[in-house]
């Protein structure tokens, strides 16, 4: 049986992003060795984030290639639906953890390359503390995801016909709040080096070029916004649309894919 287009897209995007991010991290370590620069925590944390996303990529590719993802919800057998829900939960936990780890790596990288001023230090420490709170919150969010139903197994055993009726917390509000915090932190990290770059004793054109390189990380911010949009779309449809007689969004749904795009792009 031919794989649906959405499934093929998920497989291709995940494999390409894993290859590119792995190559980027490998080149980073090779460059450190070539110039005899010490490998520091910013390097190790980005490597750890990549290793985590290998697991996320493998689960997505496996699910897409075996038919766990890629069909309409109403076409699932019950056993396949249970597998699909488990894959979704694993991806939520892995991806949200990786977002925080990558932020640590980027902030440590800033610390390595910039001669810091008092203002930079204050902002840097504020972002590190905020990110630490974000990671700790993610830990509890992961628990909340698991305990968003009672019993826990309802997260993957509730059939698609009644999906959205099994939550014992405001699941949409929880995911939305974490996504908004993620976007705010990304924005803060994105603009943090700009004042330092502008103070460099270089022609304006070169300063703009350097700033543009750092601002290219804004793609991660765009991915975060798309992920938030599709999370809201999926949850709202699940909660408010009639479950019968409605062709639900075919998994892999866009919020899963954009979640992986954001994580891999952040690593790159």
Q: What is the pLDDT of residues 186-204, one digit of tens each?
A: 888 888 888 888 877 777 7
Task: Specify whether the backbone of 200 is left (phi greater than 0), alpha (psi in -120 to 50) or beta.
Answer: beta
In the chain, what's the furthest Cα-to-Cα distance? 65
User: What pLDDT is attached to residue 22?
Assistant: 93
Residues 60, 14: Cα–Cα separation, whole Å:
8
pLDDT above 90 for 261: no
- Domain range summary for the chain, segments of one domain joined by +: 5-267
Q: Map tokens 């408010």 to a residue.
A: 240
Q: How many of the other CB atoms lie within 10 Å of CB of 244?
A: 7
Residues 32, 214: Cα–Cα separation, whole Å:
19
SS3 167: strand
Half-sphere exposure of residue 226: CA atoms within 13 angstroms, side-chain side: 17
SS3 136: helix
The mean-pLDDT minimum among 13-17, 103-107, 114-118 falls in 114-118
């Amino acid at each position: 049986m031919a794989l649906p287009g959405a499934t093929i897209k998920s497989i291709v995007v995940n494999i390409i992003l894993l290859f590119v991010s792995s190559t980027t991290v490998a080149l980073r370590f090779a460059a450190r060795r070539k110039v005899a620069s010490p490998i520091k925590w910013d390097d190790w944390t980005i490597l750890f984030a990549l290793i985590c996303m290998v697991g996320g990529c493998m689960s997505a590719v496996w699910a897409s290639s075996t038919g766990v993802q890629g069909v309409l919800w109403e076409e699932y057998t019950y056993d396949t639906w249970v597998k699909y829900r488990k894959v979704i939960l694993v991806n939520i936990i892995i991806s949200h953890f990786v977002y925080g780890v990558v932020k640590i790596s980027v902030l440590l990288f800033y610390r390595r390359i910039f001669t810091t001023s008092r203002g930079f230090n204050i902002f840097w420490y504020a972002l590190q503390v905020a990110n630490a709170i974000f990671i700790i919150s993610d830990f509890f969010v992961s628990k909340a995801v698991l305990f968003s139903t009672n019993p826990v197994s309802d997260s993957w055993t509730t059939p698609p016909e009644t999906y959205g009726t099994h939550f014992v917390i405001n699941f949409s509000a929880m995911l939305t709040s974490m996504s908004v915090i993620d976007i705010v932190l990304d924005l803060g990290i994105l603009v943090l080096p700009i004042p330092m770059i502008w103070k460099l004793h270089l022609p304006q054109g070169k300063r703009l070029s350097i700033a543009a390189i750092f601002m290219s990380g804004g793609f991660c911010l765009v991915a975060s916004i798309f992920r938030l949009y599709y999370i809201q779309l999926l949850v709202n449809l699940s909660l408010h649309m009639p479950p019968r007689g409605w062709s639900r969004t075919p998994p892999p749904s866009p919020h899963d894919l954009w979640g992986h795009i954001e994580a891999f792009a952040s690593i790159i």
